[in-house]
Amino acid sequence: MLFHLDLDAFFISVERILDPSLEGKPVIVGADPKVDAYGQPHGRGVVAACSYETREFGVRSGMPVRQAYQLCPTGLFIHGSHKEYSRFSRAVKNILERYAPVLEQASIDEFYLDFTGCERIYGHPYFFASRIQAEIKRELHLPCSIGIASNKFVAKVASDYAKPEGITFVVPHQEVEFLSPLPVQAMPGVGEVTQRELNARGFYTIGQVANTSSEYFQIAFGKWGKAIHDHALGKGTEFLIPHDERHEQKSISREETYGTDTTDKRIVEKTLFELVEDVCNTLRENNWMARTVSIKLRYSDFVTLTRAQTLNKPDNDDKIIYNTAVELFRKAYTRRVSIRLIGVQLTNFCESSEQELLFSTIEEKRQKLLKSIDKIRAKYGMEIVRYGVA
pLDDT tens figures, 94-147? 999 999 888 998 889 999 999 988 888 889 999 999 999 999 999 999 999 999
Residue 388 pLDDT: 53
Judged against a pLDDT cut of 70, whether residue 317 lies above it is answered with yes
Half-sphere exposure of 360 (CA within 13 A, CB side): 2
- Of 70-74, 81-85, 184-188, the poorest mean pLDDT is in 81-85
Residue 245 pLDDT: 45
Taken in order 134, 135, 136, 140, the sign of the CA dihedral is positive
- The catalytic residue among 15, 53, 104, 110 is 110
Report the percentage of the chain scoring pLDDT > 70: 88
The 10 Å Cβ neighbour count of residue 100 is 21
Mean pLDDT score, 249-270:
88
Tell me the one-letter amino acid at 131.
R
**pLDDT: is 129 or 361 the higher one?**
129
**What is the b/e burial string over 221-258, where b = at least 16 CB atoms within 10 angstroms of the residue's CB?**
beeebebbbebbebbbeeebeeeeeeeebeebebbbbb
Residue 249 pLDDT: 56
CA distance 147 to 240: 15
Residue 367 pLDDT: 55
104 is catalytic: no
pTM over 0.85: no
Mean pLDDT score, 38-49:
85
Q: Calculate the average pLDDT of the chain.
A: 87
Please, what are the domains in the chain? 2-9+83-172 (3.30.70.270), 26-74 (3.40.1170.60), 176-232 (1.10.150.20), 246-384 (3.30.1490.100)
Taken in order 354, 356, 362, 366, the sign of the CA dihedral is negative
DSSP code, position 264: -
CA distance 109 to 352: 26
Residue 390 pLDDT: 45
Tell me the one-letter amino acid at 311.
L
Residue 365 pLDDT: 52
- Of 111-115, 135-139, 249-253, 327-331, the poorest mean pLDDT is in 249-253
Judged against a pLDDT cut of 50, whether residue 241 lies above it is answered with yes
What are the distances in angstroms from CA 348 to CA 7, 293, 315, 378? 28, 9, 11, 25
Half-sphere exposure of 233 (CA within 13 A, CB side): 12
Mean pLDDT score, 72-82:
92
pLDDT tens-digit map of 341-350: 999 999 988 7
Expressed in percent and rounded to 5, the helix, strand and coil fractions of the chain are: 45, 25, 30
Q: Beta strands of the chain (E only): which ranges? A: 2-7, 27-30, 47-50, 76-78, 102-107, 110-114, 144-149, 167-169, 251-262, 288-299, 304-315, 339-351
Please write down the HEC assignment for all residues of 136-147. Answer: HHHHHCCCEEEE
**Start-to-end C-alpha separation, the chain:** 57
Tell me the one-letter amino acid at 93.
K
Residue 44 pLDDT: 77
Residue 141: φ, ψ to 5° = 65, 30
